[in-house]
C-alpha cells in the first residue's frame, strides 16, 4: 500500500532552538498513526508544518505523491488536510450548521447564502455519524464532547483526506471517548489518513496501527502498535527505563477543610466532605458532574446557595478568590492556558502574582523579591526554561503546570485545589508532578484534586469522593479505590436513589 501523506527529512529551527531534525514518516490511508513523546518533543511543530502553519527550515511534505507547496493553512485545508486541535475552533454564537460550513457556505444562483441546503446537508452529516445533535442548535449550548463531534463533522463535510486529532480525549468521559473512537473507526473505514497525538498510552492499541516516538526534536523510534508493549513506548519517549510509580503511604493529620451541605442551585446539591493535612483527596465522576463547580464555590469564585465551609474548624465566607488566597487556599484551574496563567507574562511575573497584595508597596512591585522567589522555585521544581524572564506561553504543558504550582507554593498555601492537574502533559512530566504533589502533602499540606483520569486517581489518591449529575454518590477509602467502584458510583443516579 502506498502512503498518502509523507514527510521527508523535515527540520525546523527557531532562533536558538532546533525544534525538529531530519523527521521522515509515512502515513497510510485507512490507518491511525500516533505521534507520542514528552511535551516539547516536536509533535506539535510537525503537525503545524503538515497543516502549513509553519514552513520547514528543510525537508518536504508530500500529499498523494506530490510535493506540497501550500502558502497558508487554507491551502492545506482545501487540499484535504484538517487539524482538530485540543482547544476546539468553534464559534459559540453560531449554530452547528454555520460552524460546519464556515467559509464554504453553499450559495444560491444569485450568490446569496443557501441556508436551507446548508442546514439540510449539516443534518445529514450528523445523522450519518449517528449523532443526536440538531444542526440549528447554537454551539454555546453544547458540551465539550459535542463540540468535539462538531469539529469532526466539519472535517467530514469538507471531505478531508488527512485528519489530525491533537489530544482529543483530554476533556471527555469514558463513554464520550468511545463515541469519539467510533467516529475514528468510521473515518479509517473510509480510507481517511488519521494522525493521532496523545499522552494516554492505553489509547494506542485501541485506535492506532502505528506510532512514531519523538524525543528532543528527533524521531527516535517507530513501531507497529500491536507488536510492542506500552513500557517499551514509554522508555523510548524518555530515553531511559521509567520505573513503576509506587503509591506512598500518607498519614492524615489535622482537618484542614470541611464542607457541609453545600448547594448551588441548578448545579450541585448537598455536598459534604472533609480533607486533612497530609493527604490527597480526589473527586471523581463524569464530565459535567459538577466537581469543578464545587471547587470554584469553595474558592470563592462563585456564590453558593446554601451550606457551610470550614477551614481549620472555623466557618469561612469567601466572597472572592482574594479572600481564599489570604487564608492560604489556592486553586489551579483546569484550563491553565486561559485561567491558570498569564501567557504573555514571564515565569517571574506569574509566580509572584498571588503574592502582590502582600509584597507590593504603594503600587510598586518588589522586583528583587520577585526575582529571588522565582529563582528559588524554578530550581526547586526543575522548570525547564532559559530563565525566569521566559514567557509562560512559550513553555510546555508540564512546565506551565509547574509554574502554577510554584506560584501557590510561593504564596504559602496549605490547601491546594487541583482541577485536572495533568491534563495534556506527558508521562514523564506526570511522574514529576506526582512527586511534587506527594512532597507537598508530606510537608503538611492538603490537596483536593478533580480528575477524570481513573488510573491517575487510583495511583495518587488517599480517599475519593464520587459525584454524578451534581450529587455526591459515595466515598472510597484507599483500599476501595478501583475502576469498578469508580465507574459504578459515577453512573447517573435515579431520582429515587439515596445519594449516601
Q: Which residue reads 469522593 in cell numbers?
A: 465
Nearest to 397 by CA among 369, 365, 366, 426: 426
**Cα atoms in the 13 Å half-sphere on the side-chain side of 173:** 18
Q: Is 16 exposed, middle or buried (0-12, 13-18, 19+ CB in 10 A)?
A: exposed
- What is the pLDDT at residue 347? 92
- What is the pLDDT at residue 480? 94
- Cross-strand partners of 221: 213
Please report, for residues 85, 161, 219, 222, 379, the alpha-carbon distance to residue 23 in angstroms, rounded to integers and kept in the order given: 21, 22, 6, 11, 33
**Per-residue tens of pLDDT for the chain, all 500 residues:** 899 999 999 999 887 778 899 999 999 999 999 999 877 788 989 999 999 999 999 999 999 999 999 999 989 999 999 998 876 788 999 999 999 998 888 999 998 999 999 999 999 999 888 888 999 999 998 877 788 888 888 888 888 999 999 888 776 767 778 888 998 999 999 999 999 998 888 899 999 999 999 988 999 999 999 999 988 888 888 776 555 566 778 888 899 999 999 999 989 999 999 999 999 999 998 777 899 999 999 999 999 999 999 999 999 999 999 999 999 999 998 877 777 888 899 999 999 888 776 656 666 777 888 899 899 988 888 888 889 999 998 887 778 888 998 999 888 999 999 998 887 777 777 888 898 899 999 999 999 999 988 888 999 999 999 998 899 999 999 999 988 888 889 876 444 444 44
Question: 463-468 and 471-476 as β-strands: parallel, antiparallel, unpaired?
Answer: antiparallel
Q: Would you tell me how many other CB atoms lie within 10 Å of the CB of residue 62? A: 15
Cell of 271: 455536598
Domains of the chain, first to last = 5-238 (3.40.50.300), 254-490 (3.40.50.300)
**Cα atoms in the 13 Å half-sphere on the side-chain side of 100:** 33
Tell me the C-alpha distance between 408 and 401, whole Å. Answer: 11
Q: Could you give the angle at the alpha carbon of 203 between the alpha carbons of 405 and 184, nearest 5°? A: 120
Please report, for residues 41, 261, 274, 422, the alpha-carbon distance to residue 216 in angstroms, rounded to integers and kept in the order given: 5, 50, 43, 21
* Residues listed for the chain: 500
R_g (Cα) of the chain, nearest Å? 24
Contacts 24+ apart (CB under 8 A), 182-191: 182/130, 183/129, 183/149, 183/152, 184/32, 186/129, 187/152, 187/156, 187/163, 188/30, 188/31, 188/32, 189/30, 191/29, 191/30
Nearest to 405 by CA among 386, 426, 371, 382: 382
- What is the pLDDT at residue 185? 94
Amino acid at each position: 500500500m502506498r502512503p498518502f501523506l509523507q514527510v521527508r527529512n523535515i527540520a525546523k529551527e527557531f532562533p536558538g532552538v532546533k525544534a525538529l531534525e531530519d523527521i521522515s514518516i509515512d502515513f497510510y490511508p485507512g490507518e491511525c498513526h500516533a505521534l507520542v513523546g514528552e511535551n516539547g518533543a516536536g509533535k506539535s511543530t510537525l503537525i503545524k508544518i503538515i497543516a502549513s502553519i509553519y514552513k520547514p527550515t528543510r525537508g518536504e511534505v508530500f500529499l498523494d505523491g506530490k510535493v506540497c507547496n501550500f502558502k497558508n493553512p487554507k491551502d492545506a485545508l482545501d487540499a484535504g488536510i484538517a487539524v482538530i486541535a485540543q482547544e476546539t475552533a468553534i464559534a459559540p454564537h453560531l449554530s452547528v450548521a454555520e460552524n460546519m460550513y464556515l467559509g464554504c457556505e453553499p450559495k444560491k444562483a444569485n450568490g446569496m447564502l443557501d441556508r436551507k441546503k446548508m442546514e439540510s446537508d449539516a443534518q445529514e452529516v450528523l445523522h450519518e455519524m449517528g449523532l443526536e445533535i440538531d444542526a440549528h442548535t447554537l454551539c454555546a449550548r453544547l458540551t465539550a464532547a459535542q463540540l468535539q463531534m462538531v469539529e469532526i463533522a466539519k472535517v467530514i463535510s469538507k471531505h478531508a483526506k488527512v485528519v489530525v486529532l491533537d489530544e482529543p480525549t483530554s476533556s471527555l468521559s469514558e463513554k464520550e471517548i468511545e463515541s469519539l473512537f467510533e467516529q475514528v473507526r468510521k473515518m479509517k473505514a473510509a480510507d481517511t489518513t488519521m494522525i493521532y497525538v496523545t499522552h494516554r498510552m492505553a489509547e494506542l492499541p485501541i485506535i492506532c496501527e502505528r506510532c512514531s516516538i519523538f524525543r528532543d526534536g528527533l524521531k527516535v523510534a517507530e513501531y507497529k502498535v500491536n507488536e510492542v508493549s506500552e513500557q517499551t513506548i514509554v522508555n523510548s519517549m524518555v530515553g531511559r527505563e521509567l520505573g513503576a510509580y509506587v503509591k506512598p503511604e500518607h498519614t492524615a493529620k489535622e482537618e484542614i477543610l470541611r464542607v457541609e451541605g453545600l448547594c448551588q442551585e441548578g448545579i450541585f446539591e448537598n455536598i459534604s466532605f472533609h480533607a486533612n493535612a497530609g493527604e490527597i483527596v480526589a473527586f471523581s465522576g463524569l464530565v459535567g458532574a459538577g466537581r469543578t463547580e464545587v471547587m470554584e464555590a469553595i474558592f470563592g469564585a462563585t456564590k453558593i446557595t446554601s451550606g457551610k465551609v470550614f477551614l481549620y474548624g472555623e466557618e469561612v465566607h469567601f466572597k472572592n478568590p482574594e479572600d481564599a488566597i489570604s487564608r492560604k487556599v489556592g486553586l489551579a484551574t483546569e484550563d491553565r492556558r486561559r485561567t491558570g496563567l498569564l501567557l504573555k507574562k514571564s515565569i517571574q511575573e506569574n509566580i509572584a502574582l498571588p503574592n502582590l497584595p502582600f509584597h507590593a508597596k504603594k503600587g510598586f512591585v518588589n522586583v528583587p523579591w520577585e526575582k529571588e522567589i522565582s529563582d528559588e522555585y524554578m530550581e526547586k521544581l526543575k522548570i525547564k526554561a532559559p530563565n525566569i524572564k521566559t514567557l509562560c506561553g512559550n513553555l510546555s504543558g508540564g512546565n506551565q503546570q509547574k509554574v502554577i504550582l510554584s506560584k501557590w507554593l510561593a504564596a504559602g498555601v496549605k490547601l491546594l485545589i487541583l482541577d485536572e492537574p495533568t491534563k495534556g502533559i506527558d508521562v514523564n512530566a506526570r511522574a514529576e508532578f506526582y512527586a511534587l504533589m506527594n512532597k507537598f502533602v508530606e510537608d503538611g499540606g492538603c490537596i483536593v484534586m478533580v480528575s477524570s483520569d481513573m488510573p491517575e486517581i487510583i495511583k495518587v489518591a488517599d480517599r475519593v469522593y464520587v459525584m454524578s449529575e451534581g450529587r455526591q454518590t459515595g466515598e472510597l477509602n484507599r483500599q476501595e479505590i478501583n475502576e469498578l467502584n469508580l465507574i459504578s458510583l459515577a453512573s447517573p443516579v435515579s431520582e429515587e436513589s439515596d445519594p449516601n
